Chain A
Amino acid sequence: NAGVTQTPKFQVLKTGQSMTLQCAQDMNHEYMSWYRQDPGMGLRLIHYSVGAGITDQGEVPNGYNVSRSTTEDFPLRLLSAAPSQTSVYFCASSYPASGRSGELFFGEGSRLTVL
């Protein structure tokens, strides 16, 4: 009963370093997305994917890259980390849009600190 699995749970980076946050889901969901959660700002959409090979930008995409080579995996890459990217990152997945409720299934989050 894994659902959405995110790794790592915690990470500390230095400014300028790069890293990848991993996300995997075992529910055969077509839709996957990445959000960041900051105090007073709520959840903001970074990137999303409606299926393998298809990605698009959300509200706050700058400084992040994504790819979707399989249905199960949706990694988020930080190209050159900045202190402004200190946040809690959530991966979430869902059924396709048609005929389904707005239920996103979230991972437990990855807490990133950039020094």
Chain B
Amino acid sequence: QKEVEQDPGPLSVPEGAIVSLNCTYSNSAFQYFMWYRQYSRKGPELLMYTYSSGNKEDGRFTAQVDKSSKYISLFIRDSQPSDSATYLCAMNEIQGAQKLVFGQGTRLTINP
């Protein structure tokens, strides 16, 4: 079993819908949680970064961490076709980017 599990999808929703992407993990030492976005044939780019439990909002994106359940989520409000991409969760025991552990990635398509 992988340390980080993510439903690979694919997930297809209409424009304007609220999207929920999720990851579960088994390592209770993870404290730093990230979401990366990867467009087709490109490298991933950092979208959201959170520390420990709680919520963080950035425009239409909200990242949520529940350490007691070992569960993290990314919500996208008012989804746009430009949000179509693969979304990867990533986690770390220590602050920084060293040895990040990634989920499998969820492929998301927003239909106009």
A43 CA / B98 CA spacing, docked (Å): 14
How does the 8 Å CB contact mask read for B29-46 relative to A, with 1 for contact and 0 for none?
A: 000101010000111111
How does the 8 Å CB contact mask read for A4-44 relative to B, with 1 for contact and 0 for none?
A: 10000000000000000000000000010101000011111
Q: Is the interface of B mostly helix, strand, loop or mixed?
A: loop
A37 CA / B88 CA spacing, docked (Å): 11
- Who on chain B is nearest to A103 by CB? B46
Query: Which residues 27-77 of B have a CB within 8 angstroms of A?
Result: 32, 34, 36, 41-46, 49
Contacts A42-B102, A97-B97 given; does A106 touch B45 at CB 8 Å: yes
A50 CA / B99 CA spacing, docked (Å): 10
Q: Does A109 contact B (CB under 8 A)?
A: yes
Q: Among B43, B99, B101, point to the contact of A48 (Cβ < 8 A).
A: B99
A100 CA / B46 CA spacing, docked (Å): 13
How does the 8 Å CB contact mask read for B77-112 relative to A, with 1 for contact and 0 for none?
A: 000000000001010101111111111110000000
- Who on chain B is nearest to A3 by CB? B43
Contacts A31-B97, A42-B88 given; does A4 touch B104 at CB 8 Å: no
How does the 8 Å CB contact mask read for A86-115 relative to B, with 1 for contact and 0 for none?
A: 000010101111111111101111000000
A58 CA / B36 CA spacing, docked (Å): 20
Q: Known A-B contacts: A43-B44, A109-B42. Give 10 more (CB < 8 A).
A: A31-B96, A33-B99, A42-B104, A100-B97, A101-B34, A101-B95, A102-B92, A104-B36, A104-B97, A108-B42
